[in-house]
Structure 1
Amino acid sequence: MPVVHHALVLNLHQPHGNLEQLLASKPWEAREILYAYDRIARFLWAYEDTARVHLSPSGSLLETLSCSAFQQNVYGIVDCGALLWHLQNRSIIDILGTAYYHPILPLIPEADREEHLRRWQGIAQHLFWREAFPGFWPPEMGFSMTLIPLLKRLGYRYVLVDCEHVRALTPMTEAERLYRPHIARLGSDEIIVVVRDRQLSGAMADGLDYPAFQQLVAERTGHCDFEPLVTTACDGENGAWFRNTDDEANFWGGFYRHLLDDARDGGDIRPVFLSDYLDRFGTLGEVTVTTGAWNTEWHDGREFAQWTGSEAQQHTLDRLAVVSAEVHDAMQAAGQRELGGQEQSVLEEAHWRLLRAETSCNFYWDEDWVARANRDLDDAEATLRRFRAKKYLIDADPGWHDAGEPSCGVAGSIAD
């Protein structure tokens, strides 16, 4: 069997206010999540020569972890400042770009997509001390070909997509389709597509041991006459496999340590950064990617049924499009005249509420969380009404906050 290059990708996300609510209502669950984040870099320190891990932290998670009030609240559980600092270690961790509030990009209005990406880049550049992030992780792996021009314009070299949606345009074997990067084009724009192995990702996330993983990899790459790139991707803080505080019974000690030890001893599976594999081996052929997401517990990701299947979900998505158009119309009209500082802050607040309403979690849980999206849309519309009525009185507190939530880097509030 040829050397297998393994790219591990972990998605890290918490919706706005979720960790604060868990700390109040389910403190041990909140601790498990925070411990899961904190142990990543700490575990990998001993393997700087071997470990290569890609992380995609959402903007709302980064906002929470970097908030001084939240940091003070959880000090003694984890040191969030140290946690963020340790994630800057480029020897073991590569940060992937994503969208700020973790929306499924093909489901939200096109006018909102760039702002999600730019806001994420803003906070990530500040926290991770770098200008460029070559790889892009679409939230929920929700991808469509229409995203390619935007990703290229914002400087991304490659994007991760789920294997179930990749269709070959260049003649290639099934092994080549799954285990080589490819090019996807829309008009004059192109981007490198890195293919996630759905079966291996699911098996890894479910808690298999390393010998079983080795066997699966050998079976699935057995027809490769090249050095394959096997990409596994899953959430990095959900489920007992990642949250377990017993080092021998969680993902890191129960699985990844054995992979790293084997790689050190010359084993066939070698961790790799995606950029390094691309620099060495390049791409194979051209593909197209059908619109869809990764698989969830209940759906296969096609047609986004997990997020659009109920009447309430669809109604809220339709409403989101209407409110988005209203916000952008107001912003366009405001752009034709010079706004005062208070006017600008109010309009920014309406825009911010709209973007937060688009969080994928608001639609994931069938109808359970749809109300959260509608509350933000209610607030966005109310803010626009006040903006049009020229009620610009700004709260003395520069950071708007919900009751019981910290004020962290968000737009100012307005008074009736």
Structure 2
Amino acid sequence: MMSIYHALGLHMHQPPDNLKLIFDTQNWEAIQIIKCYERVARYAHAYMDVARLHIGFSGILLEQFMDPKVVDRYRNIVDLPRMIEAYRAAKNIEFIGMGYFHPIFPLIPMEDWEEQIRLCTDLINEVFGRRPKGFWPPEMAFSMEMIPIIKKCGYKYVIVDGVHVFPEGKMDIYMPYIASFNGEEIFIIPRDRDLSNAQESGLDPYWFKNEVLHKVTNSPHPNLPRLVTTWTDGENGGWFRNMDEEAGFFGHFFSPYMEGVRRGTMGIEPISISEFLEKYRPKERAEVRTGAWNVGSTSGFDLTLWAGTPAQKMALEEIYQVCWRYFELKRAYPKKRELLQRARRLILASETSCYLFWGDAWLPRIYECLNEASRILDQIKN
């Protein structure tokens, strides 16, 4: 009999100040989005016995949840402090780390990697009372060079898009692997892109069950424990934002799926990735090609969605220039701590992936951050 496990993940992010902005300018969209965040914890508690969820929040989104102005704006829609406490109490949620400002790690200065990761990791621990063990690279943009820093920050595994994984043996996305770089190793969890596309756009548990059984049966190692990993945004698209819960992700798919698990009729067991790794420690090795996940019509086989235009490349070059200047001044004027910290936050904020993703409309936000950071750095010499 096949042992099939399912790791279900949801990724959550909003760029700096966006919850306030959309509340004031696109109120109906703001209501839809904030209800997405509330729904997850509620359904986790409703199926505490069988549900296992992996939830990743960017640090800047968590920061907005705790902003008194945001709390006040959304008070009549969702009680945000109560929502946070519900997440904290949901022991069947495994929290996932990422970069604080949701950067495309392979595109930003390596000198910024550790701080982006540690800031997010520490805030997750502070807010939810447990340190994340798994790491989600924003936009699934991963390169092997990231492994030593991710490992240094205390992570045990990284989720990557399965299309970028190249094992030493046969290609099999239903098992974890070991990946290494410069002598540092970490576990790699391949995401099933096809099933994740279905999770993103709409599915029912019976289709999911049949599709998983078909895929696993035809996988290279059907008799080994199978880990099927699906991961999507948790607040984007009409499927997740649908205010009629019975027609959306949780009412139409998740709830009947969990009921089937309770009855023992699904043949699939929800599991946390950490638990799976404890039960079935990976032995096979793999390389991971630099790439990202598929967004819209893009393949994710390169990073041109965020760095393909001359304007995007110029903005990234400016990030590097201001970052290098920051480190030079930090070495020369270490006592100017308050000014350095203010400039540093602006530099890290400029690396927000959304500013690159939305093209010319949002690129000015990068320069707003960097221009203010440069103005502060000018003061350090005075």
Corresponding residue for residue 123 of structure 1:
123
Aligned residue pairs, count: 378
Counterpart pick for 1:256 among 230, 254, 273: 254
Asked if 1:16 corresponds to 2:31, the answer is no
- CA distance in structure 1 between the partners assigned to 2:246 and 2:3 by the alignment: 27
**Structure-to-structure mapping, 1:20-169, within 5 angstroms:** 20-130=20-130, 132-169=131-168
Contact 2:45 2:90 in 1 (8 A): no
Secondary structure of 2:312's aligned partner: helix
Counterpart pick for 1:345 among 338, 348, 352: 338
Corresponding residue for residue 328 of structure 1:
327
Corresponding residue for residue 352 of structure 2:
359
Secondary structure of 2:359's aligned partner: coil
Q: Cα deviation per residue 1:120-147 (whole Å; 9 max; x = unaligned)?
A: 12221211123x3211111111111111
1:52 maps to amino acid: R
Structure 1 residue 357, shift from structure 2 partner: 0.3
Q: Cα deviation per residue 1:253-297 (whole Å; 9 max; x = unaligned)?
A: 110112111111112111110001111111140001011111110
Identity %: 37
- CA distance in structure 1 between the partners assigned to 2:331 and 2:300 by the alignment: 35
Contact 1:182 1:287 in 2 (8 A): yes
Contact 1:180 1:284 in 2 (8 A): no
Secondary structure of 2:40's aligned partner: helix
**Structure-to-structure mapping, 1:124-273, within 5 angstroms:** 124-130=124-130, 132-169=131-168, 171=169, 173-174=170-171, 177-223=172-218, 224-266=222-264, 267-273=266-272
Asked if 1:369 corresponds to 2:362, the answer is yes
Greater displacement, 297-306 / 26-35: 297-306
- CA distance in structure 2 between the partners assigned to 1:354 and 1:76 by the alignment: 34
Structure 1 residue 90, shift from structure 2 partner: 4.3
2:358 maps to amino acid: W
- CA distance in structure 2 between the partners assigned to 1:122 and 1:226 by the alignment: 36
2:214 maps to amino acid: E
Secondary structure of 2:54's aligned partner: strand
Contact 1:259 1:269 in 2 (8 A): no
Secondary structure of 1:9's aligned partner: strand
Structure 2 gaps of 5+ residues are none
Structure 1 residue 178, shift from structure 2 partner: 0.5
| Alignment RMSD (CA, Å) | 1.2
- CA distance in structure 1 between the partners assigned to 2:344 and 2:230 by the alignment: 35
TM-score under structure 2 length normalisation: 0.97
Runs of 4+ in 1 over 4 A off after TM superposition: none
Contact 1:298 1:306 in 2 (8 A): no
Corresponding residue for residue 298 of structure 2:
299
TM-score under structure 1 length normalisation: 0.89
Structure 1 gaps of 5+ residues are 390-416
Corresponding residue for residue 7 of structure 2:
7
2:346 maps to amino acid: R
